[in-house]
């Protein structure tokens, strides 16, 4: 197709290269935007989970260090999944049942 466009003088090589670069940049920006939209609610869940576990750590001084480590590990994850959030909640709940 590229050769046909050039042969029929619809566009030159430079124009086609420019179009290709713009298209690649658009796709890259769209992908990043979609990924951020996907992660936004999960990051919100991470924040809520961290708050819950921190509150639990306050009420359970014996398990506070372990609970705070759960929060640190979850918060440090740059691309958390819902599974990571639920694992942290389950582990936090297990500490509360031991008390």
pLDDT tens digits, 49-93: 999 999 999 999 999 999 999 999 999 999 999 999 999 999 998
Range of the domain at 10: 2-98
What is the pTM for the complete model shown? Answer: 0.74
For 8, counting Cβ atoms within 10 Å of its Cβ (0-12 exposed, 13-18 middle, 19+ buried), the class is exposed
Residues 6+ positions from 39 with CB-CB distance below 8 Å = 79, 80
Q: Is 60 helix (H, G, I), strand (E, B) or coil?
A: coil
DSSP 8-state code for residue 61: G
**What's the total number of domains in the chain?**
1
């Amino acid at each position: 197709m590229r050769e046909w466009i050039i042969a029929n003088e619809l566009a030159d090589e430079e124009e086609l290269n420019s179009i290709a670069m713009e298209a690649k940049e658009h796709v890259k920006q769209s992908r990043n935007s979609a990924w951020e939209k996907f992660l936004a609610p999960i990051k919100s869940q991470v924040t809520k989970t961290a708050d819950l576990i921190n509150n639990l750590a306050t009420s359970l001084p014996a398990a506070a260090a372990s609970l705070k480590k759960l929060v640190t590990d979850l918060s440090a994850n740059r691309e958390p999944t819902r599974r990571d959030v639920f694992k942290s909640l389950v582990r936090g709940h297990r500490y509360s049942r031991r008390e």
